[in-house]
Structure 1
Amino acid sequence: MAVFLAMGTTAALAEDGAIKGVVELFTSQGCSSCPPADKALGELAKQGDVVALAYHVDYWNYLGWPDTLASRDNTDRQYAYARMFGRSGVYTPQVVLNGREHMNGSNLDAIRRRIGELQTESKGLSVPVKAEINGDEIRIRVGAGKGKANIVVAYFDRQRAVKIETGENKGRTVQYWNAVTDLQTIGMWEGSEANLILPAAMLAKAQNSGCAILLQRMRSADTPGAILGAAVLTADGTRPGLSPAVDGALDSAGR
């Protein structure tokens, strides 16, 4: 993918709202304890003030249902977090909050509470990140701060219903939100304001798509650390999460 560094960009970038934190869920369609966490992530995505991302992992595929949204890259990211936390293994459903700590992904109230606490403990998002779609471009601006971090883009499908035919969730149709399809490091931030331009084609090709921009420190070349800032965009310009029409239809169906 082409990436352009825009020096001295003067175009106004849209405010992306007050983002309170980043919640990354590691989940699987083959995990019987994951649907409550998938539902919780959907609630977070619809809030609009949290960047909520789902990484479907592939290590439960042997149970009889190959996750249709899973990738080895997603599994590798979870294991990278495990190294950062000093853990020898991984689990689902796991959420990682602001790249700093992890907890069970099913407890929505606890996740919301902890995101608020991280802000008060100076472990929230301290560097402003703004983004907008402008014609055929995605324009990204990262504010000033201290230290170094990677600028990462996570492309995702906003919502998708999957009918699971075998495995531990056989017979269930589950709604999935913000399932990550690609994760790319697009630049390095070194403490001063940075402006970047990406082609918007990845979003324009599908109304169901979106992307999150994460400013993330690295513990080492392959071990992630704290997330310092974040923004989120959707292809159609609506708020993150489901559209009102889809959201209402799901509520009517009792899902």
Structure 2
Amino acid sequence: MTDPGSDRARPPDSPPQAPDVAPADGGFAVVEMFTSQGCSSCPPAEEVLTEIDRDARANGQPVFALGFHVDYWDDLGWRDPFADAAYTARQQAYARAFGSGHLYTPQMVVNGTVEFVGSDRRRAATTIGAALTSAATTPLALSVQDGAPDTGDERTVVMDYQTERLPERAVLNVAIVERGLESQVARGENAGRTLRQDNVVRAFTSLGLEADRGRVTLQAPPDLDRRQATVVGYVQKDGDKAIVAATAVDLSPAAG
């Protein structure tokens, strides 16, 4: 889950080897969905998230899907194995930014500025389409380093980032998401169901950006299937939560 010790950028021992930053021009869409295995309304929304990711990967579109499993359903019969209080806190921060103060699942948030019920396919397609046509101004490059030279822990994922033209109070979010997860749910609203979920957030950190390049580390869970995992990085304004840059790198089995 979330690694409390990885919430800051640490200057690398040598200059980061992130690729040169390409000019930011075309749009992108970061699609965050707040969900829970304990919520009977969530599986249809998770199917939408799967479709979004599948279509984006097939068409080479810069659409980045992330499923954040919140923990406030855990006391109602089923403890979601992917839930984390930090993801609930992230949803709460969005609720404050939107001025609603209201938490619900499934909730989809696109580029940090538009929210709606996650199972609404038409709204998702329209919002993502609009995001892809909006020009981006902040570039971002992310590279995953082979091995974990600083720790010797094979679960440690080391990433170098490079960006420029940052807004004030910019935050870099980095997530490891995993596809193709299946869970047998024994209790709660989804009792007896086998849930298949994609792009589940397995590790996540946010850090304030004070430099346009640096290194970030995350601890991957021991059961992570790297063949089905991707690292997603995105730059966000700390105030209004607008996301201004995003990129992703598939996590190969040899990395980390």
Q: What TM bracket, shorter-length normalisation?
A: 0.7 to 0.9
Distance in 1 between residues matched to 2:210 and 2:132, nearest whole Å: 22
Distance in 1 between residues matched to 2:46 and 2:20, nearest whole Å: 32
* Residue 229 of structure 2 corresponds to residue 213 of structure 1: no
For 1:91, what is the secondary structure of its paired residue? coil
Distance in 1 between residues matched to 2:13 and 2:112, nearest whole Å: 28
Please tell me whether the aligned partners of residues 18 and 143 of structure 2 are also in contact (alpha carbons under 8 angstroms): no
Structure 2: gaps of 5 or more residues: 1-5, 148-157
Shift of 1:165: 1.1
Shift of 1:92: 0.7
For 2:242, what is the secondary structure of its paired residue? strand
Whichever residue aligns with residue 141 of structure 2, its letter is K
Which residue in the other structure is 2:69 paired with? 56
1:67-216 correspondence to structure 2 within 5 Å? 67-120=80-133, 122=134, 125-136=136-147, 137-188=158-209, 194-199=212-217, 202=220, 206-207=225-226, 208-216=228-236
For 1:24, what is the secondary structure of its paired residue? strand
Shift of 1:117: 1.8
CA gap of 1:232–1:167, structure 2 versus 1, over 3 A, is same
Shift of 1:100: 0.5
Distance in 2 between residues matched to 1:11 and 1:64, nearest whole Å: 45
> TM-score, length-normalised on structure 2?
0.77
Identity of aligned residues (%): 32
* Residue 52 of structure 2 corresponds to residue 40 of structure 1: no
CA gap of 1:216–1:163, structure 2 versus 1, over 3 A, is same
Distance in 2 between residues matched to 1:64 and 1:171, nearest whole Å: 12
Shift of 1:9: 5.5
CA gap of 1:25–1:125, structure 2 versus 1, over 3 A, is farther
User: Would you say how many aligned residue pairs link Structure 1 and Structure 2?
Assistant: 228
Which residue in the other structure is 1:229 paired with? 245
Please tell me whether the aligned partners of residues 158 and 178 of structure 1 are also in contact (alpha carbons under 8 angstroms): yes
Of 129-138 and 89-98, deviating more is: 129-138
> TM-score, length-normalised on structure 1?
0.77
Distance in 2 between residues matched to 1:19 and 1:127, nearest whole Å: 11
CA gap of 1:19–1:212, structure 2 versus 1, over 3 A, is farther
Shift of 1:93: 0.5
